[in-house]
């Protein structure tokens, strides 16, 4: 079958073909960013997993190298699963990853560059003293994987390994003096009941002021730590902000954030198995995450590919100390082409206005809305405090008229709106405060069949004192990746329009609330295509 590749991304990371999942071992080394990722070299479904390898100087233009880590020794003969990079003293990178052994046990291995003077670190060797860690009798050998970037305190390296005991999610802590002999700590760094398997844990320090990132080994007085896990039962990720108690070698979440399904998320849409790394060249911490397809397996096989990586995001602690903020790395802006601007534009109830003059299927849109008062906000139903924001969006979609909102963007829209993905705010009045919902609703995104089209949504913890809300959406053919209120709430959604493709996609601003909304300022750019995994030129 010849497939019209209307849903391939223009600027989101993907290889030319086949299946991808988790980002692995991201790092910055001698002027080059490395991204490895879980990859099936034989097809567009999960299987035959190796570490594919790409390099970049700017996190946007990527060149593809040969696979870096693949089954070749007894200790990883049934698969090379997720892991992380650590840069050891003397500027020596090392990768920790999970190998699947002949008994299908999950064990932890290491790999090192064959030749440190190769600027691309193309070849990786797996020394014979592997594995570094195998599951002892007390751990579940089929749920023991995804080692983190190691950190160094008090003369010991430490790494976390994701696991579970029955339904309790666990992040086992291992320590080592020499990165070779690893010993399991008596207590896990952290665990939580009834959360199931903890995949891809991540644990990193964040500064209490400003946006700078910190090296993973920084443990000072005035910092916080963030702890994230990916829960395989719901395929969502959750994080908490808390304290790393060095004396006990344990992590304690603050009482402002909770473990598990009621917790905070980096992304309230399609985003999984994420991982951060510290970029010393720009003093920032960067978050990578995987977004799988929302079409059918049959579609994936026909397309010949499945999975993308989200745009790398700078991540730092909000000034309120209660959550993180995220923003696309600044390098993305080098792809901005022709631009249109809109300012001081009123939107009456029921109105939608087209943003013309850009390639609406592949765009970066940054808009600030304002409103004269909060008086018309709808009542917040107290029942909503205990349900997922997605269920509120399901009841209160873009077509349901409101008071203050819904207002926002109609992305990837066909001319007559047979298809569109609305990304919008809705403001409610609760007993003592206002509550803001950000929604990215895929239900109207496509006339196609066999698609998963959820009304993704998250709450936005923001003060409305200035009576303004901003929204940035990265629109990329089958991706709508939105950052609400300067990165407070983020939602990535995969959609598959049939009419709103390439030049036939449109972009609108809209308001469907009784309060008139003003588009204070809107900038939208057509986005150019970067170099996306062309084979490297040597």
**Cis omega (within 30 of 0) on the bond before 468?**
no
As a whole number of angstroms, the distance between CA 343 and CA 359 comes to 19
**Cis omega (within 30 of 0) on the bond before 308?**
no
Contact 365, 518 (CB under 8 A): no
Kindly state the smallest distance separating residue 265's Cβ from ligand DQQ, in Å: 16
Contact 338, 526 (CB under 8 A): yes
Kindly state the smallest distance separating residue 61's Cβ from ligand DQQ, in Å: 26
Q: Which residue is nearest to ligand DQQ (CB)?
A: 81
| Residue closest to 507 by CA, chosen among 367, 297, 335, 314 | 367
Residue (98 or 257) nearer to ligand DQQ, CB:
98
- Measured over the CA atoms of residue 460, residue 462, residue 467 and residue 468, the dihedral's sign is negative
Kindly state the smallest distance separating residue 121's Cβ from ligand DQQ, in Å: 21
Kindly state the smallest distance separating residue 24's Cβ from ligand DQQ, in Å: 9
At 367, list the tokens. 């808009």
Q: What is the DSSP secondary-structure string of 157-207?
A: EEEEEEEEETTEEEEEEEEESSSSSEEE-SS-SEEETT---EEEEEEEEEE
Residue (49 or 500) nearer to ligand DQQ, CB:
49
**Cis omega (within 30 of 0) on the bond before 406?**
yes
* Residues making contact with ligand DQQ (CB under 6 A): 21-22, 38, 49, 81-82, 98, 145-146, 199-200, 230, 272-273
CB atoms within 10 A of CB 169: 28
Residue (109 or 323) nearer to ligand DQQ, CB:
109
Kindly state the smallest distance separating residue 234's Cβ from ligand DQQ, in Å: 13
Collapse the DSSP code of 288 into the 3-class scheme (helix H, G, I; strand E, B; otherwise coil) and give the result: strand
Burial class (CB in 10 A: 0-12, 13-18, 19+), 382: exposed
At 74, list the tokens. 């007894």
Residue (292 or 470) nearer to ligand DQQ, CB:
292
Residue (146 or 279) nearer to ligand DQQ, CB:
146
Kindly state the smallest distance separating residue 293's Cβ from ligand DQQ, in Å: 14
Residue (131 or 530) nearer to ligand DQQ, CB:
131
Strands (E) in 114-167, as ranges, are 124-125, 144-145, 151-153, 156-165
At 492, list the tokens. 């990535």
CB atoms within 10 A of CB 66: 12
Collapse the DSSP code of 287 into the 3-class scheme (helix H, G, I; strand E, B; otherwise coil) and give the result: strand
At 482, list the tokens. 């939105």
Residue (145 or 284) nearer to ligand DQQ, CB:
145
SS (H, E, C) 471-507: EEEEEECCEEEEEEHHHCEEEEEECCCCCCCHHHCEE
At 507, list the tokens. 């972009």
Residue (291 or 457) nearer to ligand DQQ, CB:
291
- Measured over the CA atoms of residue 521, residue 526, residue 532 and residue 537, the dihedral's sign is negative
Kindly state the smallest distance separating residue 155's Cβ from ligand DQQ, in Å: 30
As a whole number of angstroms, the distance between CA 211 and CA 428 comes to 30
Catalytic residue among 22, 259, 299, 476: 22
At 446, list the tokens. 């496509």
Kindly state the smallest distance separating residue 40's Cβ from ligand DQQ, in Å: 9
Residue 128 annotated among the catalytic residues of the structure: no
Kindly state the smallest distance separating residue 274's Cβ from ligand DQQ, in Å: 10
Residue (161 or 358) nearer to ligand DQQ, CB:
161
The residues assigned a catalytic role are 22
């Amino acid at each position: 079958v010849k497939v019209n590749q209307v849903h391939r991304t223009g600027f989101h990371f993907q290889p030319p073909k086949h299946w991808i999942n988790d980002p692995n071992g991201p790092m910055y080394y001698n002027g080059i960013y490395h991204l490895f990722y879980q990859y099936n070299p034989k097809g567009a479904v999960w299987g035959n997993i190796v570490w594919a390898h790409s390099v970049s100087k700017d996190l946007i233009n990527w060149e593809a190298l040969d696979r870096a880590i693949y089954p070749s020794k007894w200790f990883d003969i049934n698969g090379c699963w997720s892991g992380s990079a650590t840069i050891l003293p003397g500027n020596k990178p090392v990768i920790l990853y999970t190998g699947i052994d002949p008994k299908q046990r999950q064990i932890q291995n290491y790999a090192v560059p064959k030749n440190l003077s190769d600027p691309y670190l193309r070849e990786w060797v797996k020394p014979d003293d592997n594995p570094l860690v195998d599951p002892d009798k007390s751990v579940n050998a089929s749920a023991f994987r995804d080692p983190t970037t190691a950190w160094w305190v008090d003369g010991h390296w430490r790494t976390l390994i994701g696991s579970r005991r029955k339904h309790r999610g666990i992040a086992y802590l291992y320590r080592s003096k020499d990165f070779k002999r690893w010993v399991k700590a008596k207590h896990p760094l952290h665990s939580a009941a009834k959360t199931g398997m903890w995949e891809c844990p991540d644990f990193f320090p964040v500064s209490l002021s400003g946006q700078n990132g910190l090296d993973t080994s920084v443990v000072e007085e005035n910092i916080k730590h963030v702890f994230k896990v990916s829960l395989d039962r719901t395929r969502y990720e959750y994080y908490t902000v808390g304290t790393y108690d060095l004396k006990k070698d344990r992590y304690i979440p603050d009482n402002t954030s909770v473990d598990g399904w009621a917790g905070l998320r980096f992304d309230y849409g399609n985003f999984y198995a994420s991982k951060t790394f510290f970029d010393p060249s720009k003093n920032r911490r960067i978050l990578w995450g995987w977004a799988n397809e929302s079409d059918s397996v049959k579609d994936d096989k026909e397309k010949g590919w499945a999975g993308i990586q989200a745009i790398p995001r700078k991540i730092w602690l909000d000034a309120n100390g209660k959550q993180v903020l995220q923003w696309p790395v600044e390098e993305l802006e080098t792809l901005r082409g022709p631009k249109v601007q809109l300012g001081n534009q009123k939107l009456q109830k029921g109105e939608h206005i087209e943003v013309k003059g850009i390639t609406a299927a592949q765009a970066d849109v940054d808009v600030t809305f304002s409103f004269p008062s909060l008086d018309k906000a709808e009542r917040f139903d107290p029942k909503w405090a205990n349900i997922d924001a997605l269920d509120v969006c399901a009841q209160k979609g873009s077509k349901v008229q409101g008071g203050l909102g819904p207002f926002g963007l109609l992305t990837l829209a066909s001319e007559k709106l047979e298809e569109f993905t609305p990304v919008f705010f809705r403001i409610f009045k609760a007993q003592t405060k206002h509550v803001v919902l950000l929604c990215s609703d895929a239900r109207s995104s496509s006339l196609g069949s066999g698609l998963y089209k959820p009304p993704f949504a998250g709450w936005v913890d923001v003060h409305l004192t200035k009576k303004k809300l901003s929204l940035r959406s990265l629109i990329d053919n089958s991706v709508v990746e939105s950052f609400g209120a300067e990165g407070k709430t983020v939602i990535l959604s995969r959609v598959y329009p049939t009419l709103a493709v390439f030049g036939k996609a449109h972009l609108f601003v809209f308001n469907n609330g009784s309060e008139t909304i003003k588009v204070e300022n809107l900038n939208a750019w057509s986005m150019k295509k970067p170099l996306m995994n062309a084979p490297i030129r040597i």
